Amino acid sequence: MYKMIAIDLDDTLLTDDLTVTPGTVEAIRKAVTQGVVVTIATGRMFPAAKPLAEQLGLNVPLITYQGALIKDIAEKEVIYERLVPPDIAHRLVEIAQEKNLHLQVYQNDILYTASDNDRIREYVNISKVPYTVKPDLAELADNGFTKALFFDDPEYLDDLQEELKPAFGQRAHVTKSKNYFLEILHPEATKGAALLYLANRLGIDRSEIIGIGDSYNDLELVTSAGFGVAMGNAVDELKEIAAYVSLSNNEEGVRHVIEKFIL
């Protein structure tokens, strides 16, 4: 019945120690052997997602940067790309300076930060990607950003999110991937929009897709898929709209879904 599975990475496919269990790897490979398209749908940048996809034996386009970029794993073709417009990119840099916030931006698969600080070091310790210090991020803004990310205290970011949504309106997608990550993207840069674009390209109907996630940035993924799954550790808002709630990321929730609904 299901021909495609799109899986979030952090707190979904990955356990808390940032690994994929052998049993989950085996289940994914069995699904692929049966002809199911298994892909990743993550907020991470493409260079951070690609090694995990290779570990799983995947050979399909990957949905990265919350849906701002779909690129084939061999990096020969960009299938879908939606950038933060230059004027909004400039405004984000101004906000970071005005409010003294840590802002990191992504452009051409490079992670940039204005200063080398504890925030960026903590982030790359999780994502395992290099970063480049660019004191004046405004110099990059003219070409737009693939994604911009504020990293700060959750309560402060909640307030900032409420401030940015009406300020940017329909011209930006503002979402939280973790309580302390506030991300700003192109309005069509959502996991759901990217998923449906890729599925259409592959000739797969929405009803034939399983989408699995855990956080606020997975809302569109879960609602766009024909069968939306929330992890056992997911935020309540996602559990409420999901068709099914699986086990947690530390209990092989992804493996459970694949074995129950595919294998």
From the list 10, 47, 46, 3, the residue with the least C-alpha distance to 254 is 10
pLDDT, tens digit (0-9, with 9 covering 90-100), for 133-167: 999 999 999 999 999 999 999 999 999 999 999 99
From the list 198, 43, 51, 168, the residue with the least C-alpha distance to 111 is 43
The residues, ordered by sequence, that sit 6+ positions from 12 with a Cβ below 8 Å of its Cβ are 212, 213, 214, 218, 231, 249, 253, 254
pTM of the complete model: 0.91
From the list 208, 256, 207, the residue with the least C-alpha distance to 230 is 256
Domains annotated on the chain, with CATH: 4-81+189-261 (3.40.50.1000), 86-185 (3.30.1240.10)
Q: Does residue 127 carry a pLDDT above 90?
A: no
Q: Does residue 126 carry a pLDDT above 90?
A: no
pLDDT, tens digit (0-9, with 9 covering 90-100), for 59-113: 999 999 999 999 999 999 999 999 999 999 999 999 999 999 999 999 999 999 9
Instruction: Provide the pairing of β-strand 209-213 with 4-7.
Output: parallel
Q: What mean pLDDT is reported for the chain?
A: 95
Q: Give, to the nearest 10 degrees, the angle between helix 86-99 and helix 154-168.
A: 140
Q: Max Cα separation, the chain? A: 53
pLDDT, tens digit (0-9, with 9 covering 90-100), for 199-248: 999 999 999 999 999 999 999 999 999 999 999 999 999 999 999 999 99
pLDDT, tens digit (0-9, with 9 covering 90-100), for 21-43: 999 999 999 999 999 999 999 99
